[in-house]
Each structure stands twice: as C-alpha cells, then as structure tokens.
Amino acid sequence: MPFRKEIVIATKFGFRNGRPHNGLDSRPERIRAVVEHSLKSLRTDYIDLLYQHRVDPLVPMEDVAGTVKDLIQEGKVKYFGLSEAGEVNIRKAHAVQPLTALQSEYSLMTRQPENDVIQVCEELGIGFVPYSPLSRGMITGYLNERSRYNANNDNRPSLPRYQAENVIANWPLIDTLKEFGDLRGMTVAQVALAWLLVQKPFIVPIPGTTKLAHLQENMGATYYTFSKDELQSLTTALNGIKITGERYTGTSAQQTEK
C-alpha cells in the first residue's frame, strides 16, 4: 500500500463474531483474532487506532488494556481507544495503557458527555471523538416526521428519537440553528458541527455521510469562528431547548457502560 503512511486506519473489536446482536466478546484471544483478521483484510502491517467497541462487563478492563498494550509493543497497533465507556473504565484502561481517544455519541441532541467523560478526557489528555454529531441526520433540517428510512440497513425507525411525535417536539432545535445560520451563510449542520468543534480543542466529530455534497457541507463547519458573544448567545438558546426521546431503547446493548 504505497500511500499507507498518508492515511490513519481506525477499527474496533468487541462483539462476538463481529455482530452486535450476538453479544459482547473482548476476551484477549478474541482481541488478537480480530486484529489479525483486520491486518489481513486491510493489507497492512499495523492499525493506527484500535478501539474497544463497547465495554465488556465479563472481561476486566485491565485485561483488555493489557492485551492492547502487548499488541502495541508488538508493532501491530499504534494507539488505543474506547467507545461509549464511562469514567471508571476510562481510568482503569488508561492506567494500564494510555488512551489516545474516546469515541462516544455527542451532539446537540445528546449532550450527556458534558457531564463527565469530556472532563475526564481533558484531565487525562485523551482525544474525544463524537460519533453521530448530527444525530444520524436529524440535526440537518433535511429530515422531518414524514421521512422514510431503508428498513434493511437503518435502525432509526426503531429508535425513540426518530418517532414522528418526537421529531416534531424537537424541531425548535432546528429552528434555532437555522436562524443563527441564515444570518451567517451557514447550514443547520454546519452550525451544529461548528458548535461542537469550539467546545474543546481536543474534540474531533466524525459525521457520516454517503453523499459528496454533504461531506463538503460538513467540512465547511471548520471555517467558522464564533465571537464570544455569538457563542454565548447561541449556547444559552440551545440550553433552553428540551430534547424529547431517548437515543436508544432502554434494553439496547449499545448504551454507555460505566
């Protein structure tokens, strides 16, 4: 791979047979098997950033971090990350093998990380990587209560936040972002991403998209600089908006583990 040093490859382990519905599996032997499979599939000698997809309550975090530490020493992995982990497990892992990144859902509709893990990341020098920073497209203004999703590969129809009544109830958030953006030549998505970026210098959102136009739109968020008064005014308005609907069902295995 002639361009290998020009790209960063991040991948994950943590589910039995790689399928979330099969349950968690972060046993050391499973971690090693996943890494070997990834190296072969990606045709590379090393993985830049290896995440644990979800905390496995049956495997001590010290064992998980120790296995990744060994893989780093062997040159097969460069950096270690966790996904959707809480403060306790972040500290346990970091004590064994310093964490480079924590990936968790964080957006203007999911702001729980502000209560704990962002502060822990700042304290320990860990990068914070928000996934779904546009709440799976909801914070764009492109979706509404009549939107239809692909039933084959889209879980939004089953999530509380995307039910029609909750979409309607949460529309004040879109209106607030649109009002701010309209006066500055920005889209709803750009305002939402720019707001995340300005919260902390170590925050790097990863919005997903299948369209080049949306990728270019999202990148435009990096060019905007808030004035102090603008940021304070927008944040005050956003803080006054109550978000309706949970991000997952109560029984979902994908909720944050402490």
DSSP label of 201: T
Same fold, 1-97 and 135-258: yes
Rounded Cα gap, residues 113 and 111, in angstroms: 6
**Class of the CATH domain delimited by 1-97:** alpha beta
User: Reduced to 3 DSSP states, what percent helix, strand and coil does the chain have, rounded to the nearest 5?
Assistant: 45, 15, 40
What CATH architecture does domain 135-258 belong to? Alpha-Beta Barrel (3.20)
**Residue 10 — φ and ψ, nearest 5°?**
-120, 135
Spans of all domains in the chain: 1-97, 135-258
Report pTM: 0.91
Rounded Cα gap, residues 103 and 126, in angstroms: 10
pLDDT tens digits for the chain (258 residues)?
788 999 999 999 999 988 888 899 999 999 999 999 999 999 999 999 999 999 999 999 999 999 999 999 999 999 999 999 999 999 999 999 999 999 999 999 999 999 999 999 999 999 999 999 999 999 999 888 888 877 677 778 788 888 999 999 999 999 999 999 999 999 999 999 999 999 999 999 999 998 999 999 999 999 999 999 999 999 999 999 999 988 887 544 344 454
Decide if 46 contacts 75 (C-beta within 8 A): yes
